[in-house]
Structure 1
Amino acid sequence: MERKTVLVTGIGGNVGQGVLRNIIDLNLDIFLIGTDVATFTAGNYLCDVTYKVPYAFDTNYISEISAIVEKHRVDIILPTTDYEVYFLSLNQDKIKSTVVASDSSLAKKYLDKYLTFLHHQELNIPFAKTWLPSQFVKIDGDIIVKPREGRGSRGIEINPENPSSFSDEYLIQPLHKGKEITTAFYVKKDGSLHGLFTMERELTNGATSKSKTCNKYDAELEKIIKSMIQFQGLRGSINIQSIVEDDQTIIPFEVNCRISGTNSIRHNLGFQDVKYSLQEYLYNQEPDEVKTIEGIATRLLYDVIYPNATDENLLNNNSSNFKLY
C-alpha cells in the first residue's frame, strides 16, 4: 500500500498528542506531520517532522498550512483545536488536501457556546439555558459565568457578585449539578451516525484525569445526536459534554465540533474515531464496526528526554536516543 501523509494540528495539546498516538498504534505506513503555535512541544517526538505555525485566526495561517501541504503532498489534515477546525473548513478550497471537519457554518456555531444554545433552541434540541450578561435577570439557584469561546475551565466564575457586569464575550448558565459525562460520536461522510461512546469523567485543570465507560444514557443521547445531524454538515468525530441531574435529565452544556481530548482512552476501549477518520478520508474504506468494552482510565505524566540535545528546533521522532521516562 502506498505511503500516506497525514498532518495533525495542535500537537502541543492532549487532543493532538492522543490523535498521534492512535495513528501510530494502528501500525500503518503513514508519514506524520505535526503543527503547533510553539516550535517545541511534548508532541514532537510522535512526529516525523514538525512545524511552528501562527494561530488559526492570524492572516498567515492558511498560507503557511498550504505551503506545508504542497511541500509534503499531504493527503489529509486532522485539526484538533476548535479554531483550526473552523478556519481550515472555511478555507478548504484554498488547501490542496482534505480537511476532516464539519462545515464551517456549523463549526462556527459550536465554537461559540452562546451560538450553540441559539442553534439548539431553534432546532428544539436539549441544551443548557444560556444568557448573555446583558440579557441576564437574576434567577433562583446557582449560576456559572464562562467565556463564550475557549476550552477547559479557564475564565469560569461561580455565583459572581454582579453577573451583569461581565461583557457579552461571556455567557451565563444555571449551574446544573449531577454526574458529568462526555459523549463522542462519529458522523460518516454520508451524514449518518456511525456510533457513540460515553464516559463519566473527573477533571483536573479543565482536562479529563479519570474516566469510566458509561452506556446507561445511550438511548437518550442517540436521540439528541440524531436531532443534531439532521441539520446537514456535521462530519467526523464530535463531542458533547453533559450533566445528568438526580432525576436522570440529561443537559448538554457544550459541544466540541472536533475530536476530543479523551480520544486515546476511547481508542483502547473500542471507539476508534481517529481510525474511522483515516478509513473514510485516507483510504476510502467503510469504517470498522463500533465494538466498545467496559473500562476505567486515568492519566499519568511522562517526560520526554533528549540527551545531549542543544537545539529544540530539530527534535522529533528522528532524534537519536530520546527517552520516555
Structure 2
Amino acid sequence: MHLNSVLITGCAGDIGLGIARIIRDLSWIEKIYGCDINDQFPVGYFYDGFKKIPKVKDENYLESIAAMINEFKFQLIIPSSEPELRFFSRNKITDINGVPLLIPSFEIMNLGFDKLKTSLYLQDNSYPFPWVAEVSNSSPLELPCIVKSRDGSGSKSINIVHKGNLEYFKKNYPEYIFQELLLPDSEEYTCGVFRTKSGETRTIIFKRVLAGGRTGYAEVVKNAEIENLLLKMAEDIKFHGSINIQLRVTEKGPVIFEINPRFSSTVVFRHKLGFEDVKWAILDLFGEKDEMVVNEEYLGKKIFRADTEIIY
C-alpha cells in the first residue's frame, strides 16, 4: 500500500488536524495537503501544502477541489468537516474527478445527520430510545428536557428546557427538536464503531466528561451491554466506515441519543489507544487487509484534552 499524496478537507478543524497527525505517522503516505475556508492556523506545522477554498455551499466549491487535484495529483480525499460530509451524502458523491472520498456509507450518514430520524429509527427497531418532538408543532412530553438542532452534532447547541424558558425556545428555535433528558448525566459514554465493507466490526467505549461541547476527560471501559448494543446496530444497519455513538446508561439500560457518522474529535486519542479507525478506513477503502486488533491492556486508561501553544 502506498499513497503519494492525500487531501484533508476542513483541515483547520480539530478533527482534520487530528487526522493529519495520525496519517503523518503512516509510512505508506508521503505527502499530506489541506484545504479549508480558514487559513489562520500554522499550515506548515501540519501540512505539506494548503489552499484556502470557498464554503461547501458555494457553487465553486467542487471546482476549487478539482483544481487542487490537477495540481497535486491526490490519490485520496478525506473530508473532515460535517457540512462537507452532509453535502457529499445529500448529493451521493463518492469521488471528485475520480479521486475517492473516505466517507461512511450513505445509509448511516442519512440516519445520523438527522437527529429526529435517529430517534425514530431507534423506536421503530425496538432499541431503547429518547422521546423527541419537533419544536415547531409540538410540546415536550415532560420537563425538564433538552432542545437541540435537528441536524447538528456535539453538545454546544444543546440547552436544558424548563417552564421558565419553554416559550422562548418555541418562539426562537422552531427548526429544533425537544429530546428527553436522559439521566444520570454522570453515565455518559462516547463509543467508536468501525465496520469494514465485509462486515467486520470493532468498538471502543469511553465513559466521558464533557468540556466545551466535546470530550474533555474520559476513561476506556468494558461494558458488555453497551458493546452488544453497538454490534447489533452495526449489523442491523450494515453500514461501513467509522462512526461515533453517544449514549447514556439509564434505568432502562444504555440509550443512544446521537449517532455522528464521521470520525470523532477523540480520533487521536483512539489511535494512540490502538483503535486505529483512520488507518483501517483507508486500507478498507483500497481493499487492503489489516488485523484490527484492539488491545484490552488499554482498559482503564484515561484521556484528557489540553491546549497546546504554537507560535509560527
Q: 3-state SS of the aligned residue for 2:237?
A: coil
Residue number in structure 2 paired with 1:310: none
Does residue 286 in structure 1 map to residue 290 in structure 2? yes
Q: 3-state SS of the aligned residue for 2:133?
A: coil
2-structure distance, mates of 1:132, 1:194: 34
- What are the equivalent positions in structure 2 for 1:1-325 lying under 5 Å apart? 2-42=2-42, 45-89=45-89, 90-92=92-94, 94-159=96-161, 160-162=165-167, 163-178=169-184, 179-190=187-198, 192-216=199-223, 218-232=224-238, 234-245=239-250, 247=251, 249-282=253-286, 284-292=288-296, 293-294=298-299, 295-306=301-312
The answer to whether the Cα contact below 8 Å between 2:195 and 2:234 also exists between their aligned partners in 1 is: no
2-structure distance, mates of 1:250, 1:151: 19
Percent sequence identity over matched residues? 27
The answer to whether the Cα contact below 8 Å between 1:240 and 1:254 also exists between their aligned partners in 2 is: yes
The answer to whether the Cα contact below 8 Å between 2:203 and 2:230 also exists between their aligned partners in 1 is: no
2-structure distance, mates of 1:202, 1:25: 29
The answer to whether the Cα contact below 8 Å between 2:102 and 2:282 also exists between their aligned partners in 1 is: no
Going from structure 1 to structure 2, the CA distance change for 1:13 and 1:302 (only over 3 Å counts) comes to same
2-structure distance, mates of 1:252, 1:172: 15
- Residue 140 of structure 1: how far off its partner (Å): 3.5
2-structure distance, mates of 1:128, 1:95: 41
The answer to whether the Cα contact below 8 Å between 1:100 and 1:235 also exists between their aligned partners in 2 is: no
Q: 3-state SS of the aligned residue for 1:74?
A: coil
- Residue 91 of structure 1: how far off its partner (Å): 2.0
2-structure distance, mates of 1:56, 1:125: 35
Q: 3-state SS of the aligned residue for 1:152?
A: coil
The answer to whether the Cα contact below 8 Å between 2:248 and 2:256 also exists between their aligned partners in 1 is: yes
Q: Give the TM-score normalised by structure 2.
A: 0.87
Residue number in structure 2 paired with 1:316: none
1-structure distance, mates of 2:305, 2:173: 36
Q: 3-state SS of the aligned residue for 2:6?
A: strand
The answer to whether the Cα contact below 8 Å between 1:88 and 1:99 also exists between their aligned partners in 2 is: no
**Which amino acid counterpart does residue 241 of structure 2 have in structure 1?**
G
Pairwise CA RMSD? 2.3
2-structure distance, mates of 1:67, 1:121: 45
Going from structure 1 to structure 2, the CA distance change for 1:57 and 1:50 (only over 3 Å counts) comes to same
2-structure distance, mates of 1:76, 1:269: 25
Going from structure 1 to structure 2, the CA distance change for 1:94 and 1:196 (only over 3 Å counts) comes to same
